[in-house]
Amino acid sequence: MPITERATKNRTAVFGGTFDPPHIGHMHIFHEVAALTPFDSLLVIPARISNFKQDSMPASFPDRLEMVRLLAVDYRKRYPDDGLGISVSDWEGRRSDISYTSDTIRHFFDELEYGGKVDFIIGDDHLAKLGKWHDFEFLASHVRFWCFSRDGSARNDTKAEVIFIHSDKVHASSTEIRMGNLDMLTPSVRSYIDEHKLYRA
């Protein structure tokens, strides 16, 4: 669904995740948000401790935050004509507990709501668990999910509002990167990982 016209109000979407580490797949989502949605900017919010990954966090929050910032730099170099503003927030990292999306939406709601809801970017790999997210009733009434679906087979079985965007497939896996496949990293992120000796057994 290409953009036909942009909203008159500056419209920002939220993109959250553990980003452990951020990779070319995340950068590709930045580009597709610019090309296929009405958003003028993207607020990227790394999780301090993901609710679904409480037992796995190989890289510290400060490292992941800096890598996301470097990914944004590489994105601007790779797609200089996109015009999508990228901001990276440390808000979840300044908290001491689990990073629940509902808490983040409450914090940013007045700033980011558009038509009574906050726009939130997800991949279709998150859709199956969407109904199990913490405080889902609140999310269903306060969030508009934009789901990037690669094969067109994703379905929304919840009562949340989900807008599907057909997305080109880019294979990238944080798990594979942590296991040693560094080809899925952007140059600045790879340099940071090498310099700080991250993801080494």
Q: Which residues contact 8 (CB under 8 A, 6 or more apart)?
A: none
Percent of the chain exceeding pLDDT 90 equals 77
According to DSSP, residue 184 is labeled: G
Q: Quote the pTM value.
A: 0.90
Quick one: pLDDT at residue 51? 54
Could you give the CA distance from residue 52 to residue 17 in angstroms, rounded to a whole number?
11
Q: Tokens for 45?
A: 């919010």
Task: For 49, list phi and psi in degrees, rounded to 5.
Answer: -135, 110
pLDDT tens per residue, range 119-148: 999 999 889 899 999 999 999 999 999 999
Give me the numbers of helices (H) and strands (E) for the chain, helices first please: 6, 6
Tens of each residue's pLDDT in the chain, 201 residues: 333 333 345 799 999 999 999 999 999 999 999 999 999 999 999 998 865 454 555 799 999 999 999 999 999 999 999 999 999 999 999 987 888 999 999 999 999 999 999 999 999 988 989 999 999 999 999 999 999 987 778 899 999 999 999 988 788 999 999 999 999 999 999 999 999 999 986
Domain 12-196 CATH assignment equals 3.10.620.30:
no
Task: Delimit the domains of the chain by residue range.
Answer: 12-196
Those residues whose C-beta lies under 8 Å from the C-beta of residue 78, and which sit 6 or more positions away, are 27, 31, 186
